[in-house]
Amino acid sequence: MIMKDWLHFYFFLQFVPKWVAPNVLTLTGFCQLLVNFVLLTYYDPHFFAASRDHPEDAPIPNWVWLVCAFNNFMSHTLGKTAVLQLLVNVAEM
C-alpha cells in the first residue's frame, strides 16, 4: 500500500479546517524553515559557533536548536498534511 506511511498524518489532518487551502499549509511550513535560517544566521553568521577551531565564538543557545528542531518537524508535517488534505478533498468531489 503506497499511502501506509502517511496514515499517521490523518491525526494532524483532523485539526486543519477543510476551508484552509493546502498551499497555505505548505507556505506556513516554508516560513518555519525561514525562521530557522534567520535564527541560525543571527546567532552564528559565519557558521563558527560549533567549531573547535574558533573557540572565541560563543556557542548557539540550546533553545535555538529546540526551536529549529520543532520548526523542521512541523514543516515536514504540514507539507505532508497538505498533500493528504488535497487528496481527501479531491476524493470527496
Is 43 exposed, middle or buried, given 0-12, 13-18 or 19+ CB atoms closer than 10 A?
middle
29 or 86, which is more confident?
29
In the structure, what pLDDT confidence band is assigned to residue 1 with cuts at 50, 70 and 90?
Answer: very low
- Does residue 7 fall inside a structural domain? no
Could you list the beta-strand ranges (E) of 1-93: none
Q: Could you give the CA distance from residue 20 to residue 79 in angstroms, rounded to a whole number?
A: 13
Looking at the structure of the chain, the number of domains it has is 1
pLDDT over threshold 50, residue 26: yes
Residue 25 lies in a domain: yes
The pLDDT of residue 80 is above 90: no
pLDDT-wise least confident of 3-7, 39-43, 48-52: 3-7
Q: Which pLDDT band holds residue 7 (cuts at 50, 70, 90)?
A: low
Closest CA to 86 of 6, 1, 4, 32: 6
d(CA 93, CA 75): 27
Verdict on whether the full-model pTM lies above 0.95:
no
Q: What is the mean pLDDT of residues 13-31?
A: 89
Distance from C-alpha of 36 to C-alpha of 71, rounded to nearest angstrom: 7
Range of the domain at 88: 12-92
Residue 2 lies in a domain: no
Q: Which amino acid is at 57?
A: D
